[in-house]
Homo-oligomer: A and B are copies of this chain.
C-alpha cells in the first residue's frame, strides 16, 4: 500500500537502483517519498539536490527537478536554487562524507544563513561509493580501507554541529526507524528555514564487511541495539551512553527565513529606487 505511493514519485524506468541489495539508503528513499507525499507538494515544485556518493545517487530515481552535483557541494547548489526561486521546495540529500567531510563548510553556512532547505544526511559511517574509506563519523577503532589499524579520529556529532552553527530544526533518526522517520522528515520539510535530519543508514558492503556486520540483518540488529529516543538516552548515565545514539528532534524553533528576509528587507525597500537601469529593465527578463 505504501509502496505504491513511493513508486508514484519515482522514475520507475530507472529502477532497480544501483544500491547494493539491502542497503539502508533505499529504505530512506522510501521514507522520504512518503513524507513528501504527506506535504502534498507538486513534483514540479520540488527540487532535489545531492552531491556525490551512494546516497547522492538518490535524485536520479526521483521524479522531481533533480540535480546530482559535485562532491560536497549539494547545499551550495541548493542555495542558488532556493534563493533565486523561493517558490521551489528544495531538498538536499547527502552522505556523511558529502555533508560533513568535504561539504562541512556549506553545511554550517547553510545552517547559519537559514534558507528554507531540508538537508537529509544519509550517515552510513563510511565512504560507500569510493570503496570504504573512513569518514568523520566512522566509529572509534572501526576498520575502513584507510584505517587498516583501526580508526582513531574523533567523530562529529552531526546534530551538535548543526546546532552549533545555528540551525533551527535539527533531528536524527535511522533507516530502520520507519515509519517514525517519515514523520521526522515530514516535519523537517514543513519547517520554514534550514532543517537538518541526520539519518543513520547502513552499508554492510563497505562498512559492515570490515567490522563483523556483514549482512544487512546484522547491521539492522546493531542499529536496533544502539538507537534510542532522546528522552530515554538522557536518562542514562555517562557510561551507559557510550555506545548509544539518541534519536528524535533536538531543536525546533521558529526562525526568519533568508530569502523572505531578503525580499522584505532588501528588495522591497529598494526596487523602486531611481536608477538609469530602470529603462533597460522594464520588462521582467525572466518569469518565475
Q: Residues of A at under 8 Å CB distance from B?
A: 102-105, 108-109, 112-114, 136, 149-150, 152-157, 160-166, 258, 261-262, 265-266, 269-270
Contact = CB atoms under 8 A, between A and B. Distances in A.
Given A149-B266, A164-B164, 7 more contacts: A103-B105, A104-B108, A105-B108, A149-B265, A152-B262, A157-B164, A160-B166
B149 A166 contact: no
A206 to B, nearest CB: 21
A160 B163 CA distance: 8
A152 B113 CA distance: 9
B161 A114 contact: no
A113 B165 CA distance: 18
A113 B138 CA distance: 13
A108 B261 CA distance: 28
B109 A136 contact: yes
Nearest to A266: B149
A155 B270 contact: no
A265 B136 contact: no
B112 A265 contact: no
Which of A112, A114, A150, A261 has its CB near the most chain B CB atoms (within 10 A)? A112
Contacts of A265: 149-150, 152
A227 B160 CA distance: 26
B160 A164 contact: yes
A266 B265 CA distance: 55
B136 A154 contact: no
A109 B163 CA distance: 16
B149 A156 contact: no
16 contacts: A104-B104, A104-B109, A108-B156, A108-B161, A149-B269, A150-B265, A152-B258, A152-B261, A152-B265, A153-B258, A154-B166, A156-B166, A157-B166, A161-B165, A162-B164, A163-B164
A127 to B, nearest CB: 15
Contacts of A156: 108, 112, 165-166
A269 B113 CA distance: 46
A114 B266 contact: no
A265 B149 CA distance: 8
A156 B113 CA distance: 9
A143 to B, nearest CB: 13
Contacts of A157: 164, 166
Contacts of A160: 163-166
B112 A153 contact: yes
